[in-house]
Chains A and B, each alone.
Chain A
Amino acid sequence: MKRILYCTTLCLVLAGSSCKKIDNYAAPAETLTGTVLDAGLGTGVQTEIGSGGTRVKLLETSWSATPTPLYFVGKQDGTFNNTKVFAATYKVSVEGAFVPLVQTDASGATTVDKSQTITLKGTANLTFNVEPFLRIDWVGNPVTNADGTVSVQFKVTRGTTQTAFLSDVTDIFLFISDTQYDGNNNYDPRYSNQVTYAGTTGTALLGTTLTFTTKTALPKSQTYYLRVGARTGYGLKQYNYNAPKAIAIP
């Protein structure tokens, strides 16, 4: 009886251990880094962090002409960096609140394709020149008012002249956050000030200096980050932003 048990155990151990498979494929270690630049200004296109902001699209074309795309999100200042990418051939493009780099006509045929094809080995540094839908520029610095609210001045202008992408401005939003990662997915609604526009009323404000004020006074002894976002009705209605400005409330 005991012998049978021993034999069975031995057999099971041998059978079980022989099943072990080792995944000996090297871990992804190549680096894909770069910047999304405003073609007109040469500066990084500001965005929000997370899936609502700029993202990099990778098409691994080594095996198939129509692979399932891989995405990773970019950083707030328009740069992106991924240090865990497999070595392979990629068709790389970026998506966000700017004129799409890859455009198709009604039949799905590609009419514009500014994506870049790279054979990734080591580090690749890519620059994409894009035309943001909107540009937001600070005018001066944030000002603390007598009632404790903070006012900012800025201008919103178009970043493109292509007529297909001149949708009306639908929202201008002063975002307030206690971190610099300020945007439509991370703001304090108690102070942030959102204005929505119907029809062409928002578009009419383009190029003018606008003054936005926080909804209520900012609490004292804290640093806040202010940022303006604006968007048009085009596509997924993503926001364009300016760079956040910190204000320390004494």
Chain B
Amino acid sequence: MKKLKYIILLVIVLGASCKKLNIPPQNIIQDADVFGSSGGIEAYMARIYSELPIEDFRYSPTRGLNYFWIISPFPAISGEALSRDQTSATQETFNYWGAAYSLIRECNYLTETLPTYSKSYSTAQIANWMGEARFIRGATYFALVKRYGGVPLVDKVLTTPGETIDQVVATINELKIPRASEQAVYDFVATDLDYAYTNLPETNKHGRATKYVAAGFKSRAMLFAGSIAKYNTTTLVDPATSNRVCGIPSTKATAYFQAAYDAAKLLDGKFSLYKKTWAAGDPNAQYLNYVNLFFDATSTENVFVKEYQYPNSVHGYDAYNVPRQLIGANGYSAEVNPTLDLVEMYDGFPKNADGTIKNLDASGNYVLYTNTMDIFANAEPRLRATVILPGDIFKSQSIEIRRGIYTGSSAGGINPLIPVGSTATYPTTNLVTSATATQTAYTLPNGTKMNPAGLSGVFGSDGTCAISGFSVRKWLVPDKPTSEVLENRSDQTWIEMRYAEVLLNRAEAAYELYSAGVTTIDYRTDALTIINQIRDRAGAPLLLGFTSVNDIRKERRKELAFENKTWWDMRRWRVADVEQNGTLYRTLLPFFSADANKYFFDARFDERNRRYTFDPRWYYETIPTAAIAKSTNLIQNPGY
């Protein structure tokens, strides 16, 4: 009996010792968990898509990507708008570097690991996922190269699974990868996007890449590369590798423009300009059509979108940017106020010979209007859909923008309040204004009362108003109740790439090819046809021809205003330092003449005298010094 006890004990001891200890940790998700099921791969995809560097509603140059609090808006550094919280030129300050290489690693990890699980999936599924990973990697390298020039190219996972810290440290010098040439990075982006184009399907789930997204991104990236080759003047060669990390040889420009043109052409016939409710000769229909373009989920113009959904994934665009009189409970409003410089690019209102707005009559006095919208009565519909003009209707309200009431005599005409081109403050005589939204009404000669400033400004010292005389309209949801105009309450879709941009890429590339003397097809006519398609949809008069590439650039700036593209365009054209050279932006401020019972407009420089100077060094951003400290083979960009 006693023996039996020992035998049982022996069995228990032996049995227990059979337990295997060499198993993967149970609390860490293993490759098989992720790549073994399509659900796992979808989750992986969701993560890398969310990290894709898109400058959308949640981006600001000083705060970063995927940031929630966007009160220093991007358009306020490109001359598109003035903002009370972003009052000077700047380069990006958030060091997009580490996050990019994390994302690149995630893409590399997927493309290296997925093939070992390929027997669980169809060929089409594998091609789709591999294509998406390469698309995201290509887009990420593009985000790096447009900021820094040449960056280290990492096309594989640099560590092996299970490597110890000591093993990593032993090979640390191999991990200090020097910068590749700027040209090599653009070529790498092109290769990734070509791979994506070949492998991705024609259609995919909403917000996911298709072959046409890859082609569209390629047209964008190659246009950048061509512009750098043609317009850049900075050179930096890494002596250790002979890589030209800043600048591309000018002889490469034509090949890049050709690649941009060819890539854009791939979308031909697959997408179209949104014209669902557009009607020829009907400005109002054209205006509504242009507003709807940004909100119609079935738009044939959407190439690549980033979707939001309350309450899981949100932004605060409406809260930060509604006109002052529609302010939400968080107390934000009017962060983006379009400059007169932007508005003057559009057509359909009286202009002087130099293109500036004609607010004075032949004898130099103000032109008087019954309503503030009268001067814009025939404005291009696209302008109304992009900018809230003073007195225009938004959310069933007339957006009232007025700087003050002029109480002087109007007999014989009203002289400009300050000399044209002056930066002086307005005189206090004959002028009633309001410092804040708490106003004291002024009694007009006919006995009625009127607040000196409009409900949406302009106030003398409170900046939460239309400080430029305009408020932004693009992207604002036209029927969002004020109770929902809150931070983290907006969920409209960001259209990262729409077909209009691809067409503009194509037109610009075509014109550059024409300028370079390429005559395989009539590129100039092709560019003109495209620009006129866009102008026709916008409700602008058609162009008969081009005087220079600036006609195409101007069209691009109008069409893509407030879509966070303009600043990058100014950089790649290398015009930012010329445009922002001690520059004051202009505003258009409406005044009411109590005597004449009419409105007039004063076009003047930004009252706050905020000057913008783009430092030529900023064409290549500072490589984060922390990155150089970690990887000492990186060389810094010039001037830092």
B582 partner residues in chain A, CB cutoff 8 A: 189, 194
Kindly identify, within residues 181 to 198 of chain A, every residue whose CB is under 8 Å from any CB belonging to chain B. 184, 189-190, 194, 196
Minimal Cβ-Cβ distance residue in B for A171 = B581
**Which one, A107, A190, A194, A236, contacts B639 given CB within 8 A?**
A236
Instruction: Answer yes or no: B234 CB below 8 A from chain A CBs.
Output: yes
**With known contacts A104-B237, A109-B239, A237–B577 Cβ distance under 8 A:** yes
Determine whether B515 belongs to the interface, using a CB cutoff of 8 Å to chain A. Answer: no
B169 CB-CB contact with A under 8 Å = no
Q: How far is the CA of A167 from the CA of B617 in the complex (A)?
A: 17
CB pair A235–B244 under 8 Å, yes or no, is no
Mask: chain A, 169-208; 1 = CB below 8 Å from B; 0 = not:
0110000000000001000011000101000000000000
> How long is the Cα–Cα vector from A108 to B178 in the complex, in angstroms?
14
Among B80-88, B103-111, B534-542, B608-616, the stretch in contact with A: B608-616
Q: Are A66 and B240 in contact (CB under 8 A)?
A: yes
Tell me which residues across on chain B come within 8 A of A237, comparing CB atoms.
Answer: 577, 616
Cβ proximity bits B413-426 to A, threshold 8 Å, 1 near / 0 not: 00000000001000
Q: Mark B576-610, 1 if CB is under 8 A from A, else 0.
A: 01100110100000000000000000000000010
What B residues does A190 contact at CB under 8 A? 423
**Given A106-B244, A189-B609, A235-B638, A52 and B615 contact (CB-CB distance below 8 Å):** yes
Chain B residue numbers with a CB within 8 Å of A122 are: none
Taking CB atoms, residues of chain A closer than 8 Å to B240 are: 66, 108
Q: Give bound CA distance, A52 to B616, whole Å.
A: 10
State A109–B638 Cα separation when bound (angstroms): 17
A contact residues around B639 at 8 Å (CB): 51, 236
8 Å CB interface, B604-640 against A: 609, 611, 613, 615-617, 628-629, 632-633, 636, 638-639
> B237, B628, B629, B632: which contacts A106 (Cβ < 8 A)?
B237
Minimal Cβ-Cβ distance residue in B for A194: B582
Shortest beta-carbon distance, A234 to chain B, in Å? Answer: 8
Given A107-B242, A190-B423, A196-B581, are A236 and B617 also a contact pair (CB < 8 Å)?
Answer: yes
Give bound CA distance, A107 to B240, whole Å: 10
The complex places the Cα of A162 from the Cα of B632 at a distance, in Å, of 34
**A219 contacts B by Cβ under 8 Å:** no
A170 to B609, CA, bound (A): 24
> Residue of B at shortest CB range from A52?
B615
Q: Across the two chains, which residue of chain B brings its CB closest to A187? A: B582
Please give the distance in Å from A92's CB to the nearest CB on chain B: 17
Q: Is the Cβ of B611 less than 8 Å from the Cβ of A189?
A: yes
Which of A69, A110, A236 has the most C-beta atoms of chain B within 10 angstroms of its own C-beta? Answer: A236
**Interfacial chain A residues near B243, Cβ < 8 Å:** 108
Query: Does B173 make an interface contact (CB < 8 A)?
Result: no
Interchain CB contact under 8 A, A108 and B242: yes
Q: Is there a chain A Cβ closer than 8 Å to B284's Cβ?
A: no
Known A-B contacts A68-B628, A106-B244, A196-B581; A236 and B239 likewise in contact (beta carbons under 8 Å)? no
Which residues of chain A come closer than 8 Å to B578, judged between CB atoms?
Answer: 170, 196
A189 contact set on B, CB distance < 8 A = 423, 582, 584, 609, 611
A235 touching B234 by the CB < 8 A rule?
Answer: yes
Nearest CB in chain A: distance from B580 CB, A: 12
Cα A196 to Cα B615 with chains together (Å):
16
Q: Which residues of B contact A107 (CB under 8 A)?
A: 237, 242
In Å, the complex CA distance between A68 and B629 comes to: 9
CB closest chain-B residue, reference A190? B423
Is A66 in contact with B239, judged by CB distance below 8 angstroms? Answer: yes
What per-residue 1/0 map shows which CB atoms of A32-66 lie under 8 Å from chain B? 00000000000000000001100000000000001
Contact A194 B237 (CB under 8 A): no
Give the complex CA separation of A106 and B244 in angstroms.
Answer: 7
A171 to B582, CA, bound (A): 11
Q: A52-B615, A194-B582, A196-B578 are in contact. Are A236 and B638 (CB under 8 A)?
A: yes
| A233 contacts partner chain B, Cβ-Cβ < 8 Å | yes
Q: Of all chain B residues, which has the CB nearest A65? A: B240
The residue of chain A having its C-beta at the shortest distance from the C-beta of B245 within the complex is: A108
How far is the CB of B604 from the nearest CB of chain A, in Å? 15
Contact present for B581 and A194 (CB under 8 Å): yes
A235-B233 Cα distance, complex, nearest whole Å: 6
B609 to chain A: which residues have CB within 8 Å? Answer: 189
In the complex, residue of chain A having the shortest beta-carbon distance to the beta carbon of B615: A52
B241 close to chain A: CB less than 8 A: yes
Q: Name the residue on B nearest A198 (C-beta).
A: B578
B347 part of interface (Cβ distance < 8 Å): no
Say yes or no for B307: interface residue by CB 8 A criterion: no
Q: Does chain A have a CB within 8 A of B92?
A: no
Q: Which residues of the other chain, B, contact A110 by a CB distance below 8 angstroms?
A: 239
- Minimal beta-carbon separation of A190 from chain B (angstroms): 7
A68-B632, A236-B639 are known contacts. Are A108 and B237 too (CB-CB below 8 A)?
yes
* Pick from A51, A109, A236: contact of B234, CB under 8 Å: A236
- A233 touching B632 in the complex, CB below 8 Å, given contacts A107-B242, A108-B238, A194-B581: no
Asked if residues A104 and B615 are in contact (CB atoms below 8 Å), the reply is: no
Q: How far is the CA of A234 from the CA of B244 in the complex (A)?
A: 18
Question: CA separation between A68 and B243, bound complex, in Å?
Answer: 18
Do the beta carbons of A108 and B239 come within 8 Å of each other?
yes
Chain A 82-114: CB-based contact to B (< 8 A → 1; otherwise 0): 000000000000000000000011111110000
Quick one: closest B residue to A233, CB to CB? Answer: B233
Most buried by B among A104, A106, A108, A109: A108
Residues on B with beta carbons closer than 8 Å to the beta carbon of A235: 233-234, 616, 638
Cα of A68 to Cα of B631 in the assembled complex, Å = 11
What's the least CB distance linking A72 to chain B, in Å?
14
- Nearest A-chain residue to B239, judged by Cβ: A108
In the complex, A236 Cα to B574 Cα: how many Å?
12
Chain B residues contacting A66 (CB-CB under 8 Å) are 239-240, 633
Residues of B within 8 A of A184 (CB): 613
Bound: A235/B639 CA distance, A: 10
Q: How far is the CA of A68 from the CA of B611 in the complex (A)?
A: 34
Alpha-carbon distance between A105 and B242 when the two chains are bound, in angstroms: 9
Residue-wise, chain A 153-174 has the 8 Å CB interface mask toward B (1 for contact) of 0000000000000000011000
Interface residues of A in 202-228 (CB under 8 A from B): none
In whole angstroms, what is the CA distance A110 to B238 when docked? 11
Q: Which residues of A contact B629 (CB under 8 A)?
A: 68
The answer for the CA separation of A141 and B239 in the assembled complex, in Å, is 48
Q: How far is the CA of A104 from the CA of B239 in the complex (A)?
A: 8
- How far does the alpha carbon of A129 sit from the alpha carbon of B611 in the complex, in Å? 36
- Give the distance in Å from the alpha carbon of A24 to the alpha carbon of B138 in the complex: 49
Collect the chain B residues with CB atoms within 8 Å of residue A196's CB. 578, 581
| Closest CB in chain A relative to B610 CB, distance in Å | 10
Contacts of A105 in B (CB 8 A): 237
Considering the complex, give the chain B residue whose CB is closest to the CB of A185: B613
What residues of chain A lie closer than 8 Å to B616, measured between beta carbons? 235-237
In the bound complex, how far is the Cα of B629 from the Cα of A106, in angstroms?
27
Q: How far is the CB of A176 from chain B (nearest CB, A)?
A: 13
Contacts of A234 in B (CB 8 A): 233
Return chain B residues, CB-CB under 8 Å to A170.
578
Measured CB to CB, the closest approach of chain A to B613, in angstroms, equals 8
CB 8 Å contact bits of B240-281 with A (1 = contact, 0 = none): 111110000000000000000000000000000000000000
Interface residues of B (CB under 8 A from A): 233-234, 237-244, 423, 577-578, 581-582, 584, 609, 611, 613, 615-617, 628-629, 632-633, 636, 638-639
Q: Can you offer 28 A-B residue contacts whose CB atoms are under 8 A?
A: A66-B239, A66-B240, A68-B632, A68-B636, A69-B636, A105-B237, A106-B244, A107-B237, A107-B242, A108-B237, A108-B238, A108-B239, A108-B240, A108-B242, A108-B243, A184-B613, A189-B611, A190-B423, A194-B581, A194-B582, A196-B578, A196-B581, A234-B233, A235-B233, A235-B616, A236-B616, A237-B577, A237-B616
Closest 10 CB pairs of A and B: A108-B237, A108-B239, A107-B242, A108-B242, A237-B616, A236-B639, A236-B616, A104-B237, A194-B582, A236-B617
Q: A68-B628, A194-B582, A237-B577 are in contact. List 16 more A-B contacts (CB 8 A).
A: A51-B639, A52-B615, A68-B629, A104-B239, A107-B237, A107-B242, A108-B241, A108-B243, A184-B613, A189-B582, A189-B609, A190-B423, A196-B578, A234-B233, A236-B616, A236-B639
